[in-house]
Amino acid sequence: MALDPSNGYVAARSLQDLTENALPIFNVERVQLQFSIASDFVAAQVANNVLVLALSNGRILRIDLDNPADIDDIDLPKKTSEVGVIRRMFLDPTASHLIICTALGENYYLHTQSRQPRPLSRLRGVSIESIAWNPALPTTSTREILIGASDGNIYEAYIEQSTEFYRKEEKYLKTLQKLQDGPVAGIWVDTVADPRKQDVRRVLIATQGRLLHLVGKIGRGGHDGGGSIFTRLFETEQPTVHEISRVSSTANSSLVVSPDAPDSNSLESIATDRIFAWLSSQGVFYGRLLTAPASEELGTKVFSEGKLLPRSQLPAAEAPGSRKKTAIDSIESIALTQWHIVCLVGSRVIAVNRLDDTVVFDQVVLDPGQQALGLFADQQKNTFWLFTAQEIYEIVATDEDRDVWKVMLKTEHFDAALKYARGPTQKDAVATASGDYLISKGSYLEAAGVYGKSSKPFETVALIFVDNDQQDALRKYLLTKITMYKKSSTMQRIMIASWLVEIFMSKLNSLDDTIITNAELSETLNPAQTQDQLETIRAEFQEFVKKYKSDLDKKTTYDIISSHGREDELLFYASAINDYNYVLGYWMQRERWKEVLDVLKKQTEPEIFYRYSSGLITHVATDLVDILMRHPDLKPRNLIPALLAYDRNFKGPLSQNQAVRYLLHVINQLHSTDAAVHNTLISIYASHPSKDEKALLSYLETQGDEPSFDSDFALRLCIQHSRVQSCVHIYSTMGQYLQAVELALAHSEIDLASLVADRPVSNPALRKKLWLAVAKKVISQSNGIKTAIEFLKRCDLLKIEDLIPFFPDFVVIDDFKEEICAALEDYSRNIDVLKKEMDESSQTATNIKIDITALDHRYAIVEPGEKCYICGLPLLSRQFFVFPCQHAFHSDCLGRKVMEQVGIGKGKRIRELQGLISKGMLAGAKRERAIAELDGLVAGACILCSDFAIKRIDEPFVLPTDDRNEWAL
């Protein structure tokens, strides 16, 4: 149960602290025992949440604090009368190894996995006072450990568990040194990091009056305890000694080291060095176990930085029955927490903050006459214990580091105070105090960074830097301050950001002026260093703009930078906020085309290309088109004004025309079908001064019969600019072959007209008409009839009689006598062929008449018993039809079957005729015609081998209603 904290509780803190932290840092709680004891405790140890208690009757209790009901009750191999009462126990930090020492000099070893202590024969008679466990914390064996004895000897031993009777637990025992000033009250070993990666160890040894510090390389002993490793250290290194005067032989002496940090993520883990504390007759000497340098100087440094907490500084106790305070005679035991020294003084537990030696806890714990075994700390679990002969107390540390920041603040260790400060209030207090201190020392730059994180009034801090002309410090302060405002503090952020722009510009101008005049900025900076500083400030400004561009007002920022004439910074800001219109407009006004193109290459917004292409294409057409071709997302239609403006001023050949190059890329690579794009290309081709139509014709031919351009528009342009071949091609694609031929002939393009005349292959009449027009032109222009006739032989449709009307009135027949003779011979042959065809047709007609006459005498034989192919009943039972294929059906069966197969219209007509005939509504010739029509519809074809059968190809041979046994094989 918890003890009353009001019993002697003293706190050296202000009332405000008590208000903020109502609970004390330390509290002592009595542990309720889950077992009964028959005798008193004589020794105790705790490690890794394992509690080991030695009783006066020789029993040892091993308790797992995680499971208090799990208690191991262990007896020594011999009775207490033979070996003496257990005097001391030593438990390693992992709770794996326990060494038990009795009053008669017997020493035993007990492993955590064993219940039988084994005697240490080599250590028989050695009165062990202290043990330094191996820093590697092994669990299967102790590895190399140091043992301090009451006679001043220091031993090195290697102990491991042995299950064999004839084997000893100690692999070896080596005497390293003998001290002449009494027992070895405490000993500690740890590893010191060495830059040469050598195995360097530190040994700290405490006696009644001296504290020794050794550091050095250890030897390479054999593996698994093959030999001593500390012999070399003790033989070659001289210890650094801290000695006290007026040593009391009756005063307690011990050496303790702070436990592991409770949590690697906690604030305590920031401190990497452990703390040592040596209890002597003068008080407690403590300090940090520094790890560098790894030489003899390390001990001197450790001791020089150590502090002594004298006994007189601890609060005196009141004498029983009076208010008179008695001085402290001695401190019985000590333990180290992360930040405090816990002392056992008589019946009181006193906790002292080791940072400022203030007492934070003073409470009477023990009853009068109650004897304490001492204070103990669990190195790994960070728990602290007080044992008496009958009771167990736990000293609980709660929020132990909560006042560390105040102590650091008082001692002006501001960085450390800020690390340990919790919450915005504490951190603000540290920042304000730190800034005030730095200002008093003239460290304005350092103060700026600290003030920026404090709540000190903005105006006050700014005036301090302005009044002292500390522009660099003011800049740093503002850069820090802006990070402290939330995004919602829009006005504050805009104001600070704008002010920073002004400061940056002034600083850059100042550095530029210094460089230009080759003057030194200060006594410590030469022009070269000034140039470096200029680049640093410029980079800092650019980083500031990137980070806080959303907090800068565009117009204000432009005005500030422009007023200082900082062109590079102006353009950088515009680029940072993606105001590329400003950047491009800036360079365009100055006709800096290279810079314009550099900016344009980085753009992806189409509107920017549309806006600036007209101005750029006149001066850097090739580079601009290169950029445009890399952006397939652009709408070429929006670039047409720029392309046409460029073409009007272009005087070179088409092959070098960049507008043509871009339009061809859009058409051929991007497969644009926009009529405006195609019309623009035709316009450029047609209006070019060159008479060569190859490029235009090549383009028109690639368009095929379904062009993307406006044919009427193209035709008008080609006619306007006398592009005959192109006009003819367009007429042809439009199907206006006659106009195409006439246009070609009008310009005496005979060959071109001939090519067009051959195109309407599917229309011989039109083709002949076209060739007649060509023939007329050829004959009219030909010097000789013979030549004209030879040319016109290219068409297979023209005859000599077609050409005669075009010949002149007076022409010598000898020029085309052969052609006339050939034509007459062709006519004669054609007449013979026609006569033969007429004779064959007459014979065919005669044969048809004979076949028709024979049909009247055609018949079919029906055998007796023949059945209908549909119903299977005798055919002669009622009216029937017989087909030439010998299939026979009853007329009604055939009618039903036909009705199933024919369409709706024919089926309706059949039913209509059947009704008229059956009801006798017709008579005479009408009845005969109706019967003939009905027979024609029903019996027009056999349903088994005509088109009816083909339509039923998907029907199965065997229907569900059929008898399947008839089909069995």
pLDDT tens track for 664-713 = 999 888 888 888 988 888 888 888 888 888 888 888 888 887 888 888 88
What CA–CA distance (Å, rounded) separates 629 from 422? 60
Residue 267: the pLDDT is: 42
Residue 436: the pLDDT is: 82
In terms of pLDDT, which residue wins out, 192 or 904?
192
Which of 744, 748, 747 has its CA nearest to residue 759?
744
Model confidence over 856-865: pLDDT tens digits?
677 778 888 8
Mean pLDDT score of the chain? 82
pLDDT of residue 53 exceeding 90: yes
pLDDT of residue 270 exceeding 50: no
Q: For residue 376, name the pLDDT band (cuts at 50, 70, 90).
A: very high
Which of 395, 289, 284 has its CA nearest to residue 333?
284
Residues 6+ apart with CB under 8 A from 611: 581, 584
Among 107-111, 418-422, 779-783, 939-943, name the one with the lowest average pLDDT: 779-783
What CA–CA distance (Å, rounded) separates 722 from 751? 18
Among 137-146, 450-459, 721-730, name the one with the lowest average pLDDT: 721-730
pLDDT of residue 319 exceeding 70: no
User: With pLDDT > 90 as the criterion, what percentage of the chain qualifies?
Assistant: 25
Residue 7: the pLDDT is: 29
Q: For residue 12, name the pLDDT band (cuts at 50, 70, 90).
A: very low
- The mean pLDDT of 260-287, rounded to a whole number, is 75
Q: How far is CA 683 from CA 493, 538, 686, in A?
A: 57, 52, 5
Look up residue 366 and give its two tokens: 């023990």
In terms of pLDDT, which residue wins out, 85 or 525?
85
**Alpha-carbon dihedral of residues 425, 429, 432, 434, nearest 10 degrees?**
-130
- The mean pLDDT of 598-624, rounded to a whole number, is 82
Residue 778: the pLDDT is: 66
Residue 761: the pLDDT is: 63
pLDDT of residue 820 exceeding 70: no
Residue 762: the pLDDT is: 67
Residue 784: the pLDDT is: 52
Q: What is the DSSP letter of 314?
A: S
**What 3-state DSSP class applies to 387?**
strand
With tokens 């007076």, the residue in question is: 810
Model confidence over 116-158: pLDDT tens digits?
999 999 999 999 999 999 999 999 999 999 999 999 999 999 9
- The mean pLDDT of 154-176, rounded to a whole number, is 83
- The mean pLDDT of 92-99, rounded to a whole number, is 96
Q: Is the dihedral of CA 655, 661, 663, 668 positive or negative?
A: positive
pTM value surpassing 0.85: no
In terms of pLDDT, which residue wins out, 487 or 776?
487
pLDDT of residue 806 exceeding 60: no
Three-state helix/strand/coil letters over 590-637: CCCHHHHHHHHCCCCCHHHHHHHHHHHHCCCHHHHHHHHCCCCCCCHH
Q: For residue 16, name the pLDDT band (cuts at 50, 70, 90).
A: very low
pLDDT of residue 947 exceeding 50: yes
Question: Phi and psi for 130 in degrees, rounded to 5?
Answer: -160, 155
What CA–CA distance (Å, rounded) separates 818 from 796? 17
